């Protein structure tokens, strides 16, 4: 990443933190900086509700811990740094001051006005390419969600419960 951006990881994380303090969310998507305003109250409320619904699927024997985090910085193998609204991991990521390199098993994105292209067009193929098994993109304005897996895309109407491939469930 240093060669791509010309700055160290620590400097990049400082820029991301400073952007956050200024009310802007910064991600690096395949070398391209993506700037968004911080989420609205409805976005934050929906993300919290969905995050709190994450649990092990009844009867699942996968051993997944279903650890879920909101807005965690994740460094992907191509150097991209993304901050999904909700990331679900089977193993708890190591605590660091920089982005984790652990890849989540599932990601949930909440669509805000202006983030539709990033959330629906850029993010799902990117996450799937990097090994995320389930990507859910939910638009609270319409109540519609798109659920992406490697070979399929489904449209779902909220409210619904979704069993994820990793052995966790989420309510949207």
What is the model's pLDDT at position 4?
46
- Domain with 129 in it: 39-171
Q: What's the number of domains the chain is made of?
A: 1
Query: Is the distance from CB of 116 to CB of 86 less than 8 angstroms?
Result: no
In a domain? residue 122 = yes
Question: Tens-of-pLDDT digits for all 172 residues of the chain?
Answer: 444 457 787 888 888 888 888 888 888 888 888 888 777 899 999 999 999 999 999 887 888 999 999 999 999 999 999 999 999 999 999 998 889 999 999 999 999 988 899 999 999 999 999 999 999 999 999 999 999 999 999 999 999 999 999 999 999 9
Angle 138-142-143 from CA coordinates, rounded to 5°: 55
What is the model's pLDDT at position 12?
83
What is the model's pLDDT at position 135?
98
Distance in angstroms (rounded) separating the CA atoms of residues 157 and 113: 19
pTM, rounded to two decimals? 0.89
What residues contact residue 91 under an 8 Å CB cut-off, 6+ apart? 65, 67, 102
Tens of pLDDT, residue by residue over 126-143, are 999 999 999 999 999 999
In a domain? residue 21 = no
Residue 57 maps to which CATH number? 3.90.1570.10
Exposure string over 72-87, b if 16+ CB within 10 A, otherwise e? bbbbbeeebbbbbbbb
Closest CA to 168 of 47, 48, 65: 65
């Amino acid at each position: 990443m240093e060669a791509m951006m010309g700055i160290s990881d620590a400097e990049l994380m400082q820029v991301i933190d400073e952007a956050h303090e200024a009310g802007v969310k910064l991600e690096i998507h395949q070398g391209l900086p993506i700037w968004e305003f911080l989420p609205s109250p409805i976005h934050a409320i929906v993300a919290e509700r969905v995050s709190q619904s994450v649990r092990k699927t009844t009867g699942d024997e996968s051993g997944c811990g279903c650890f879920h985090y909101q807005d965690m910085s994740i460094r992907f193998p191509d150097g991209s740094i993304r901050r999904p609204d909700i990331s679900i991991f089977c193993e708890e990521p190591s605590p660091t001051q920089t982005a984790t390199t652990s890849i989540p098993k599932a990601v949930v994105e909440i669509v805000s006005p202006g983030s539709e292209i990033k959330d629906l067009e850029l993010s799902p193929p990117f996450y799937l390419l990097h090994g995320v098994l389930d990507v859910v993109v939910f638009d609270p304005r319409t109540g519609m969600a798109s659920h992406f897996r490697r070979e399929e895309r489904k449209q779902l109407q909220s409210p619904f419960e979704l069993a994820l491939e990793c052995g966790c469930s989420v309510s949207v």
